[in-house]
Amino acid sequence: MPSSRWFAAADTAQVAAGVLLRTVTPAEWRAAAVDLARDGARLIALWADAATTPAVYGAFAIADRVLVLELAADAEVGYPGLEDLYPAANRMQRAAADLEGLRSTDRDLRPWLAHGTAPHDYAFVRVEGDGVHEIPVGPVHAGIIEPGHFRFSVVGEKVLRLEERLGYTHKGVERRFTELPIDAGIQLAARLCGDSAVAYSWAYAEALETLSAVEVPARAAWLRALCLELERIANHLGDLGALGNDAGFAFGLTQFSLLKERLVRANERAFGQRYLFDALVPGGVARDLAGAPELAACIAWIAAETQVLRDIYDEHSGLRGRFLGAGVVQPELAARLGLTGLVGRASGQAFDLRVDRPHGAYREFGVRACTSTDGDVAARVAIRFDELFESCRLVAGILAALPAGPYRTAVPRPPAGRLGIGLVEGWRGPVFVALVASPDGGIRRCHPHDPSWQNWPGLEHAIIDNIVADFPLINKSFNLAYSGHDL
């Protein structure tokens, strides 16, 4: 394959955890991206670092390999944009320009993060024509959620176009990382996106452990997988209830809320925390598992109760009428947009790091990738059910065969200047962390990346030709993070 040459010539001094780094020229940056896109590689993240020598980075995944390209960038000249090859790169490049001052050749010069600018200053793309009008929604919403603006262009009730504006609550967390000791950064990582605390913690820890050349004990690796699957189950339970509620079936919300509450109480008994914000630490986990039989019984009960509820959802004509055919993203479009995680798998994109790059418990038990090609709300609901049952199977297997031994090891201070990478399949999709240590034991640069960057553009397409009233349901079926953008 043409992309193989970029992997073959990678800088072997930076090889770690299956991730390769290659320094490229501007011409090579573009040529490599063309080859990688042609061979079906996925853009995992794109970010910039202007702290010392200005540089832009792109992380790409193909099969079980990950390649990070590093390009020295000139703040005056800019660097070649990749938005025509990877549409999701547009927003990443705009964010990099906002945060680091390094701009690509992308002609979309609009800012992405709102640094105190008013919403009306943003140049939304207008749709012209007879009977076309706009419906602005947000950025402040009726629910307790972070702000985001949705600009609908409609004729009657039919949506012709949706454009999103996010980044309203830019929090400065990438700057905040640089003010912390490197071993304390994991606490901030866990709080970047509250429903993905384990995924971000693991990705950060993996990046740090890669830099320090530390291999965590087997028991610790398995406990991390256990925590990650518990987080996945909790989020799927919450979403399945909310999706039922958005379709007018409040019974579903009540029942799934009960199951989720039972699960987080089991988490607290097992790890001392309901939502596992500080369960993972550099070198392993913060505490050993307690009460494995009780946790196993809880998971078995949740699986059985969820099967009953799935039968109800499948047989309920009202839910079927709302779910089927709503918010369709065809596989061809999903591939073009680079949709990932459960949203991508519901549209035929069978990419799951637990399957493609398995390690630890995932290699031992194997993970069945749950996919569909229907691409509608019904498919995204079905993927949640399928993944929930698969996670219950994995949890049961981990609890039954958990290796003995230590659950944590020491992590020495990593060398300064090198790039460490962490990549974990969170419940939404791949969670990525790039980490560079400073000479004083701090953090020179930390870039976290949420899979919502890839999937928000998919929501803009999913609503086209649907009615405005179906947007809350379609939006919930994606359930993307605002916080992941507001760095």
Q: What is the pLDDT of residue 130?
A: 87
For residue 139, cis peptide bond before it (omega within 30 degrees of 0): yes
Contacts of 106 (CB under 8 A, 6+ apart): 81, 83, 89, 90, 93, 94
Q: What is the pLDDT of residue 60?
A: 96
CA atoms within 13 A on the CB side of 392: 22
The class that CATH gives domain 114-169+452-487 is alpha beta
Q: What is the pLDDT of residue 115?
A: 61
Domain spans of the chain, in order of start:
4-100, 114-169+452-487, 215-409
Could you tell me if 35 and 6 are in contact, meaning their C-beta atoms sit under 8 angstroms apart? yes
Tell me how far apart the alpha carbons of residues 260 and 266 are, in angstroms, rounded to a whole number. 10
The class that CATH gives domain 215-409 is mainly alpha
Across the chain, which has 487 residues, the per-10-residue mean pLDDT values are 74 62 93 95 95 91 91 89 96 92 91 66 85 88 80 94 87 92 96 95 96 95 98 98 96 98 97 95 97 97 98 97 97 97 97 92 93 98 98 97 96 93 96 96 96 96 96 96 81
Tell me how far apart the alpha carbons of residues 335 and 333 are, in angstroms, rounded to a whole number. 5
Same topology, domains 114-169+452-487 and 215-409? Answer is no
Tell me how far apart the alpha carbons of residues 387 and 382 are, in angstroms, rounded to a whole number. 9
Could you tell me if 43 and 32 are in contact, meaning their C-beta atoms sit under 8 angstroms apart? no
Residue that has been written with the tokens 């991390």 in this structure: 224
